[in-house]
Amino acid sequence: MISTPKLNFPAIKLRAKEEDGHTLVFDGVRQIYIVLTPEEWVRRHLVEFLISHCKVAITNIIEEYPINLNSMAQRADVVVMGRDAQPLLLAECKAADINIEDEKIFYQATRYNAILGAKYILLTNGLKHLCYQKSAEGYVRCQRLPILGE
């Protein structure tokens, strides 16, 4: 069993089961069980927060969004699609013990977003959340997460 620290998100209820010595949690977006890793713990909380507090429809959330970066297959952790069916927010989830203020994480997200073109990027380790809005001059830090759903 992994360590599951209390995160800076509202508490959630997870459907979990044990299989082959691993804890699996149900992912309602993809409708499958996923191995519970420290990063997945954060992602499950973020997705539930987007649905319950940001009013994002579950059908507008895509996990493990494929991105072709320099002919290499990469995946963004969470992408929220806007009403126009275009990417609105790209989120990178890290384990709670990872410093999301590390420039490498910001650059990872902005590289992905150079392909994706979302208006916002969100970096979270579950304890701290950094949101940026894409502008003509680059990325500007947001004071809070924007309204994403209806």
DSSP codes of every residue in 25-94: EEETTTTEEEE--HHHHHHHHHHHHHHHTS---GGGEEEEEEEEETTEEEEEEEEEE-TTSSEEEEEEE-
Q: Is residue 7 part of a domain?
A: no
Tally of domains in the chain: 1
Q: Is residue 2 part of a domain?
A: no
- Which residue range(s) make up the domain with 95? 16-141
pLDDT at 149 (0 to 100) = 62
Indicate which CATH number applies to the domain containing 85.
3.90.1570.30
pLDDT per residue rounded down to tens, the chain (150 residues): 577 899 999 999 999 999 999 999 999 999 999 999 999 999 999 999 999 988 899 999 999 999 988 888 899 999 999 989 999 999 999 999 999 999 999 999 999 999 999 999 999 999 999 999 999 889 999 988 776 665
State the DSSP H helix or E strand holding residue 148, giving kind and residue range, or none if neither. none
Q: Is residue 3 part of a domain?
A: no
pLDDT at 7 (0 to 100) = 95
Q: Is residue 60 part of a domain?
A: yes
Q: Is residue 5 part of a domain?
A: no
Distance between CA atoms of residues 30 and 87, nearest Å: 18
